[in-house]
Structure 1
Amino acid sequence: MPSQTADSPAARPPIVVLCGLTRYWEQLAEAALYETAADRIVLAPGCNLKQPHPLWATPAQADRLKPVLDDLHLRKIDLADEVLVVNPDGYIGDSTRREIAYAHRLRKPVRYTH
């Protein structure tokens, strides 16, 4: 096998997507830290609608954004090699269940933090 040089592409690290409730935002961030330190590319929820922000300041804005974010997260699962469910105390909500089922349909490995 040829040796890798600065000009040659490196083998791509595995891509892991984090799934879980945004109420566990700190745990999601901690999981992203550990996965990154384990040499994995991390895809994660990019917005926490439970924290105030001008993009979703009104209920109408939040209602328009939620389905966009839900679909975007499924596209992240499409890109990922595996799924890590961040589920403190074993809790899994409805959206996360849907994401797990989607990952299983794609035959993606699914791991759980708890």
Structure 2
Amino acid sequence: MSYPRPCTPEAKLADAKKQLSLPHIVVICGSTRFMPEMAEADLRETKAGRIVVKPGCDLKSPHALRADPVEAEALKVRLDDLHRAKIRLADEVLVVGDYIGDSTRAEIAYARSLGRPVRFTHPEVDPDA
């Protein structure tokens, strides 16, 4: 007698995306110093028919949300968790910019550990190339 294989959360998500006929989902990663380039990449990917998710906050620019250093650090932790969730949701990662910092390097490693393809606007900065 065969038993049904346990369905992982990843398999359930893939099945739901297929049942909903969702377009390819791309998550944009990179240093927030490249926010204008991320907006341009978003435009190109959207024009190509892809769903795009990207960083929604730039922690390098002054803002009242980041005035208190303790709250700012807690916000960074929450945003990092949120971005990893975006990577899990996505079918592919697009790294924008000609610089890879520690956070982006960690996101690339995380995406690759999940088996997500990683594409670069500047392939020469690929840490695994």
TM-score band (shorter)? 0.7 to 0.9
Which one of the candidate residues 66, 70, 83 is aligned to 2:93?
83
**Aligned partner letter, 2:121:** T
Q: CA RMSD in A?
A: 1.4
CA deviation vs aligned residue, 1:23-82 (integer Å, no higher than 9, x gap): 111111111111111111001001001122222222222111001101110000000000
How far apart in 1 are the matches of 2:51 and 2:28?
11
Which one of the candidate residues 88, 96, 119 is aligned to 1:111?
119
Question: Which stretch shifts more, 102-111 or 48-57?
Answer: 48-57
Which one of the candidate residues 72, 91, 94 is aligned to 2:102?
94
Structure 1 residue runs of 5 or longer lacking an equivalent are 1-8
Q: Which position in structure 1 is the counterpart of 2:59? A: 49
Say whether residues 1:66 and 2:38 are aligned partners. no
Q: Secondary structure at the match of 1:13?
A: coil
Q: Which position in structure 2 is the counterpart of 1:6? A: none
How far apart in 2 are the matches of 1:59 and 1:32?
31
CA deviation vs aligned residue, 1:80-105 (integer Å, no higher than 9, x gap): 000000023xx211111100111111
The TM-score normalised by the length of structure 2 is 0.76
**Aligned partner letter, 1:83:** V
Cα offset, 1:10, TM superposition: 6.7
Q: Percent identity?
A: 62
Runs of 4+ in 1 over 6 A off after TM superposition: none
* Residues matched between the structures, number: 104
Q: Which position in structure 1 is the counterpart of 2:9? A: none
**Aligned partner letter, 1:96:** T
